[in-house]
Amino acid sequence: MNKLLTQSMVGLALGFSAVSACAQVTFDRLLNSAKEPQNWLTYSGDYSAHRFSLLDQINATNGKSLVAKWVYQTGAPGDGSNGRFETTTLVVDGILYGTGQDGRVFALDARTGRPIWHYERQPPTDIRPCCGRVNRGLAILGDKVFYGTLDAHVVALDAKTGHLVWDVVAADYKKGYSFTVAPLAVKNLIIISPAGGEYGIRGFVDAYDAATGQRKWRLYTVPEPGQPGSETWGGDSWQIGGAPGWVTGAYDPATNQLFWTTGNPSPSNRGLAREGDNLYSDCLLAIDADTGKLNWHFQFTKHDTHDWDATEVPVIIDSGGKHLIVHANRNGFFYVLDRTTGKLLSATSYGNATWSHSKDAEGRPAPDKDTEPTQEGRRMCPGAAGVTNWFSPSFDPQTGLFYVNTNETCDIFSTAPQKYEAGNAYYGSAYFNADDSPGVGVVKALDPLTGQKKWEFQHLTTSWSGVLSTAGGVMLTGDAQGNFILLDARSGKALWHFQTGGEIHGGPMAYAVDGKEYIAVPAGTALYTFGLP
């Protein structure tokens, strides 16, 4: 983007005052989020899912002098029993909104961290979400904020008071359904999709009327007999086929399409009971936002037996007249697709992926012979956690680079036959770190058109932190040891770090109030903000 334009936009943004809080967040504002970079209105910052801020007050020259501005404690136990703090906070006109563990929602003065309201909803005592009692954030639309609960409710709260507006049951938590994803608001709809791929759920993507909570459409991510794709499931396995969409997708207003990704088929690591490709698990889905109709799909991993969910954020990029969508996948390949047709343009290894050394007729990485888990155990790279995972990447239109945290791990995958029982964990497997080491984590800057690496920054161990880039020429990320780190976006050189004391498992974001830029990131069980002295 033009530098002059950027500066003028930021100047305009910093001129906004917190006093003007509580204006309605219309769909038009969400569409034009770039016009108000002082705010962060959706999970990924914009509908293209760039997680890029136009704010440039904090930059590569002064970034070394960042200081902590305030810290908000969520009040969740710090022992990990309530899951990681994975939220991406939203900011609207000086008010910061976020979710904590176990159904907490909070609104804070974004200048000071002082609470404005707090909402807490006790989950049932018998919920057993697969991978922690986590929540990744909110959607905001009109005068309400929206989130999903661990017992599979969709909840709307008054954005000014935190009072409950509506609460609808989307699915039966006793069968393993839960919500951990941050919903996406599009037009008058709240889009959400469950977690539960380790519990034998049948995945779906739902749209709810933001005003009433009435469900407007549902797209099952596992087709039933008679529907296209049903032939990819053996027997009745489709009924418990998984394919949950537990990470927020992107939206293309030009074609009115949602781009939503799906997770593993169930059981995650044993394919004997579900012969076939298992559509639409591990897919990118292009969905008509008004009707929920599936326009096209692309499956990254067919008949997955390694838990390589495709639930990584898909990122919309336009380049040279091409309308693209790119995806750094858990299976170790970086995919570039034409987002109009779903045609694969390229797939490039961007991490340690030992399972494929050839491509199929469409150019999709094809599995080698003998890659399936065995009773005795088989080593495979990446491990089940993948080269990357749900934590957000970032695309910086100024550098033209795609940033993503990657992890180098391998697992021994071993099958363990298991009978399905509703609501019980349904893995069909066991897998372990193959190398008796915590693995290596690396931030990589990729050319998003080719997947080729431009620079890298090595962590001490694997990292599950999201990445943020800004118009200040910096990118920010975290590590498992609690460091929040600012890198030069062009070179990857570390310019500043701060020890938060808690593992960073969420997505950084940027906002501004009263002319001052802030960076916020969850760490441990607290939300930290940073700014210039």
Interface residue list for another protein (CB under 8 A): 81, 128, 131-132, 377, 414, 416-418, 424-425, 427, 429-430, 432, 436-437, 459-460, 479, 481-483, 485, 494, 497, 499
Q: State the minimum distance, in angstroms, from the CB of residue 172 to another protein.
A: 18
The H or E element spanning position 146 is strand 144-148
Reduced to 3 states (helix: H, G, I; strand: E, B; else coil), residue 332 is coil
Q: Which is nearer to another protein, 34 or 131 (CB)?
A: 131
| Whole-angstrom distance, CA of residue 231 vs CA of residue 276 | 8
342 CB-contact burial (10 Å; exposed 0-12 / middle 13-18 / buried 19+): middle
CA distances from 422 to 128, 169, 272, 280, 489 (A): 12, 18, 19, 21, 47
Q: Which is nearer to another protein, 20 or 125 (CB)?
A: 125
Q: Which is nearer to another protein, 132 or 342 (CB)?
A: 132
Q: Which is nearer to another protein, 80 or 115 (CB)?
A: 80
Amino acid at 237: S
Q: State the minimum distance, in angstroms, from the CB of residue 251 to another protein.
A: 33
The H or E element spanning position 3 is helix 3-14
| Whole-angstrom distance, CA of residue 464 vs CA of residue 482 | 11
Cβ count within 10 A of residue 357 = 11
Q: State the minimum distance, in angstroms, from the CB of residue 163 to another protein.
A: 32
CA distances from 59 to 80, 458, 469, 471 (A): 34, 21, 10, 8
Q: Which is nearer to another protein, 73 or 437 (CB)?
A: 437
Q: State the minimum distance, in angstroms, from the CB of residue 461 to another protein.
A: 9
Q: Which is nearer to another protein, 314 or 492 (CB)?
A: 492
| Whole-angstrom distance, CA of residue 90 vs CA of residue 52 | 14
Buried b / exposed e over 84-102, threshold 16 CB at 10 Å, is bbbbbbbbbbbbbbbbbbb
307: annotated active-site residue = yes
494 DSSP β-pair partners: 487
Query: Terminal CA-to-CA distance of the chain, rounded, Å?
Result: 28
CA distances from 198 to 179, 242, 313, 493 (A): 13, 7, 20, 39
| Whole-angstrom distance, CA of residue 65 vs CA of residue 71 | 18
Active-site residue, from 151, 304, 307, 309 = 307
DSSP string, 10-63: HHHHHT--GGG----B-HHHHHTGGG-TT-B-STTSSTT---EE---SS-TTTG
Q: Which is nearer to another protein, 296 or 455 (CB)?
A: 455
Q: State the minimum distance, in angstroms, from the CB of residue 496 to another protein.
A: 11
For the chain, what is the total number of helices (H) and then of strands (E)?
2, 38
Q: Which is nearer to another protein, 221 or 269 (CB)?
A: 269
Q: State the minimum distance, in angstroms, from the CB of residue 321 to another protein.
A: 41
Tokens of residue 165, six digits = 């507006």
Question: Taking Cα atoms as reference points, which of 8, 36, 28, 45 lies closest to residue 397?
Answer: 45
Q: State the minimum distance, in angstroms, from the CB of residue 239 to another protein.
A: 21
Tokens of residue 207, six digits = 């749209």
Q: Which is nearer to another protein, 168 or 494 (CB)?
A: 494
Calculate ∠ Cα 479-480-483, nearest 5°: 45
| Whole-angstrom distance, CA of residue 259 vs CA of residue 103 | 26
Catalytic site positions: 307
